[in-house]
Chains A and B, each alone.
Chain A
Amino acid sequence: MTQSFKTGGRIQGHSANLLLLAGFAIVAFVLPIALSGNRYLAFVAGVTMIHILWACGMNLLYGYTGLMPLMFAGIAGISAYTVVDLTANGWSFWLALPVGALAASITGTVLGLPSLRLKGFYFTLCSLVIQTVMTLGFIYFSGLTNGDTGFSQIPLPSLRGEPLSSLSYDLVLAAAAVLGVMVLIAIMRSTLGRRLIAIREDDELAAMLGINVTGYKMIAFFVGSLFAGVGGALYAPYIGFISPRSFDVLISMNIWLMVAFGGRGTIWGPVLGAALLAPLSFFLQEYYTIKDVLYGALIIAVIVLMPAGLLGSLGRTPRLPAAEIDAPVPRRSPK
């Protein structure tokens, strides 16, 4: 076995990707208009757009660079809290958004530093610890975060003094998701993308080929965290409520699941995963405990039955026996 997952670009070809992108953009922009009569469904679609953006960021780190950070939601939370604090102090949302996203990116890059020393399980555990510390921090520094209660009634941003209508904010979210996918496609078409894949496959070999592994891992964290940050900044005013629970380890796991379920290391797998799983949690909100059981069962199913995810297993002959997640593929067979 040479490679347990292939890059979407190589299988589908670039023109197919652009066609899919055009289709996705049309769906993303038409959906809020078509659903504008039903606020609830339009809202679910908007949240799904944010999750698509998050899934793209996680995919860059997990699918393409081979790192599995379980602190993704915490990074999004940093941006969300920054934006809420800044707008409460009179900043314009459109100025607070880049500041918050940048704060998240820098935090993510710093918190990604352990990935230079730790691999596989140890890095994932480390990121889980960081996520737990961040959740505790969101509760503990209540001056900035309002503690366990969180912030509620966060207003929608305004433009030229006029508050945005829900429909126009829905369109902003759609634009963010489409832009996210476009950026990811562009990255994966460039040398940057190919170098990230080289690092995922074998970082020692990549270093020997002259790839600056440290630098590229940091770039991956910066860009991935930027996705998290933009999503977090857009999330806060849309939901209107944030608390430490909105960005805890379960949310990180959910975003991971969207990527892994859809097919990591493919452009469209995580988009599909987010589009399928994000609405699910809303339709099951009445029975939120069942949602936990379902997500847990899906995690196990992904690990045991389809390590490559929905799209990853297309176009591939029989399923590999090994449910490897994060490690470079060994060149020698283990058995």
Chain B
Amino acid sequence: MSNANLIILLSTISTGLILGAIFSLVAVGVTIVYGSIWMPNAANGQFFLLAALFGWTMTVSWGLHPAIAAVLVIGLSVPLSYALEFVLIRRFYDVPNRNISYFVLSLGITQILAGIFAFTYGQWSDQFQLPPLIGGITFIGPLPVANNRLLVLVLALAILAALFALLRYHRYGRAIRAVFQNRDAAALRGVNVKASYSLSFALGNAVIFAGGILFALAYSFDLTIAWTMSITAFAIMIIGGPGSVLGAFIVGMVFGFTQAAVSTVASPTIAAFSYLGAMLLILLFKPSGLFAR
């Protein structure tokens, strides 16, 4: 294999890994919220963008270190989530077929946030770029990779691992999973269902925010990524199986690689067509997804 081809291959793999990890993070966030409170959050892309834009304000406008900004942004998601949950989300907990209400509700939130972004950030800049976490370059074979992107990859995978551990072993995680499986039985066993709902809403959004700030640290972005991310996260969730964290992770990684590979050989539009097509097929023939829980 010639050196040029090797570089293309390696760069596809590294981009695929980083994109895959970030897609997985966002999709896991969406699927946690869907699995527990049955809310298909179409505004996930706007939340993702909100985190990225907050990070931009904190680093570029206020001059904070990117690491501090990242922690602040993820921390900020918690009060925001609880406020939103208190004002809107909570009203629907007892409504049958509430997923469609939530879906439209989140489309409304999408429109509001998109409007706000357009007349604030949209007028300040077209393209947003955050300062890197760390400088320097590492050579993987012949391919130079910025240390910053490697660190982002490690952080994303670490957050995913921590999330799996939390859901599997911790008391709160087990309560969330119990409510996932059977709300009434969990309530009978003394799980506070409403508290677990708000917790999983906040947890899911925190993960989406983490995905947003990590993406912003690795790549420059503009306002159009929000809708692309929303649709991508939905496609991943549907294909992986709504509510399946493992499915979201695996399909998210696959999507990252597909995006990286198809973008190298064809155009990003072809990538979008291909996974929207995959999502339609799954919706029609196996709506419970590949990794149904």
Contact = CB atoms under 8 A, between A and B. Distances in A.
Contacts of A324: 95-97, 101
Contacts of A295: 108, 111
A253 B283 contact: no
Contacts of A299: 104-105, 107-108, 111
A292 B111 contact: yes
Given A290-B115, A326-B100, A335 B105 contact: no
Interface string A292-332: 11011111100110000000000000000111111100100
Contacts of B227: 249
A121 interface: yes
Contacts of B101: 303, 323-325
Q: Helix, strand, loop or mixed for chain B's interface?
A: helix
A121 to B, nearest CB: 4
Interface string B19-57: 000000000000000000000101000000000000000
Contacts of B114: 292, 296
Interface in B75-112: 88, 91-92, 94-101, 103-105, 107-112
Contacts of B112: 292-293, 296-297, 300
Chain B interface extent, by class: 35 or more
Question: For A130, A250, A253, A325, which residue has the most chain B Cβ atoms within 10 angstroms?
Answer: A325
A121 B118 contact: no
Contacts of A289: 115-116, 118-119, 122
Chain A interface extent, by class: 35 or more
A293 B115 contact: yes
Question: For B103, B119, B279, which residue has the most chain A Cβ atoms within 10 angstroms?
Answer: B103
Contacts of B201: none
Given A68-B100, A121-B100, A124-B103, A304 B283 contact: no
A260 B227 CA distance: 23
Given A125-B238, A289-B119, A295-B111, A118 B283 contact: yes
Interface in A51-106: 68
A310 B94 CA distance: 24
Contact of B104 (A126, A129, A303, A327): A303
A163 interface: no
Contacts of A335: 94
Interface stretch (A133-141, A184-192, A203-211, A219-227): A133-141
Interface of A: 68, 114, 117-118, 120-122, 124-126, 128-130, 132-133, 136, 139-140, 249-250, 253, 256, 289-293, 295-300, 303-304, 321-327, 330, 334-335
